[in-house]
C-alpha cells in the first residue's frame, strides 16, 4: 500500500496543482495561527481548483464549533487537530487526524483514542525542526509491547527530500506530512514538492522490490477517489 503524502500549508491555486501533478494524496489548509494561515474564503476558492488531492483542515486551540462549521462549509476530507479544543466534534464524513508531540502519555489524550490517524510532530509545528525520531520510535515500540493500540501514524516535523527516507525507515508510517521542507524562502516550490514525492515513491518501490510480500506496517489513509465514508 502506498504511503500517504500530504503537502501542508498551501495558499495558492498553483500549489494544489503542483501537489496533484506530483502525485501527493492531500493538501493541508491551515486555519491555525501561522504565516501559512488562510481564510475560509481563500480555502473555498482553493477547494474549487481540482477534486484531487484530498483536503485536510488544520486547526489548533479552538472551539469545536468552528471546526464543525469549516468542515461542513468546505466538505473537508479530514480535520487535523493540534492542541486543545473546547466542545465536541460532531459526527461527519471527515476523518480525524490527531496531532501530538511524542510522549509516554499521548494515548491518554481523548482525541487520540478516537482518531483515525495519529500525526507525530515537534513542539513547534511548521518550524521545520524534526523531533527526536529514534527516541520516539523506542517510545512507540514500548507502547505496543505494553499492549497499547496505536492508530496508523503520520510523521511530520522538519521533513525534506533529504531526510524523509530515514523517517520512513525508522517509523514505517502510514503517511508523511511536509510543509517548510518543500519551500524556498517561505514559498512552496514545485521542484521541491516533486522531489519530495518522488523520493517517497522511490523508497516504496525499493521496499517492495526487496520485500515483495511485505508492505508498510501502518495502513495508509483512504485514496483520493474514496474519501472516508
> Which band of pLDDT confidence, cut at 50, 70 and 90, is reported for residue 25?
very high
Q: Are 15 and 4 in contact (CB under 8 A)?
A: no
Burial class (CB in 10 A: 0-12, 13-18, 19+), 148: exposed
Q: Name the CATH superfamily, with its identifier, for domain 4-210.
A: Aldolase class I (3.20.20.70)
Q: Say yes or no to pLDDT of 213 above 80.
A: no
Catalytic residue among 25, 77, 121, 177: 121
pLDDT of residue 229: 34
For residue 206, indicate whether it is catalytic: no
For residue 121, indicate whether it is catalytic: yes
* More confident: 223 or 198: 198
Q: What is the pTM of this model?
A: 0.89
Residue 87's alpha-carbon distances to 82, 90, 122, 215, in angstroms, are 14, 9, 25, 38
> Which band of pLDDT confidence, cut at 50, 70 and 90, is reported for residue 107?
confident
Catalytic residue among 8, 25, 77, 177: 8
Amino acid at each position: 500500500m502506498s504511503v500517504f503524502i500530504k503537502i501542508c500549508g498551501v495558499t495558492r491555486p498553483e500549489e494544489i496543482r503542483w501537489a496533484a501533478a506530483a502525485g501527493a494524496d492531500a493538501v493541508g489548509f491551515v486555519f491555525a495561527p501561522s504565516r501559512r494561515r488562510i481564510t475560509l474564503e481563500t480555502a473555498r476558492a482553493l477547494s474549487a481548483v481540482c477534486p484531487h488531492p484530498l483536503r485536510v483542515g488544520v486547526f489548533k486551540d479552538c472551539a469545536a464549533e468552528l471546526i464543525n462549521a469549516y468542515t461542513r462549509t468546505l466538505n473537508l476530507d479530514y480535520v487535523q487537530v493540534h492542541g486543545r479544543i473546547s466542545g465536541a466534534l460532531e459526527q461527519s464524513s471527515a476523518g480525524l487526524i490527531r496531532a501530538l508531540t511524542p510522549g509516554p502519555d499521548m494515548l491518554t489524550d481523548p482525541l487520540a483514542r478516537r482518531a483515525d490517524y495519529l500525526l507525530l510532530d515537534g513542539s513547534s509545528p511548521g518550524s521545520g525542526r524534526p523531533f527526536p525520531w529514534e527516541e520516539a520510535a523506542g517510545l512507540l515500540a514500548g507502547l505496543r509491547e505494553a499492549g497499547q493500540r496505536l492508530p496508523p501514524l503520520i510523521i511530520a516535523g522538519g521533513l525534506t527530500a533529504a531526510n524523509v527516507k530515514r523517517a520512513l525507515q525508522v517509523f514505517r508510517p502510514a503517511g508523511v506530512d511536509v510543509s517548510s521542507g518543500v519551500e524556498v524562502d517561505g514559498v512552496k516550490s514545485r521542484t521541491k514538492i516533486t522531489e519530495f514525492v518522488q523520493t517517497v515513491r522511490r523508497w516504496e518501490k525499493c521496499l517492495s522490490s526487496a520485500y515483495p510480500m511485505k508492505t508498510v506496517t501502518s495502513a495508509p489513509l483512504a485514496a483520493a477517489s474514496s474519501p472516508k465514508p
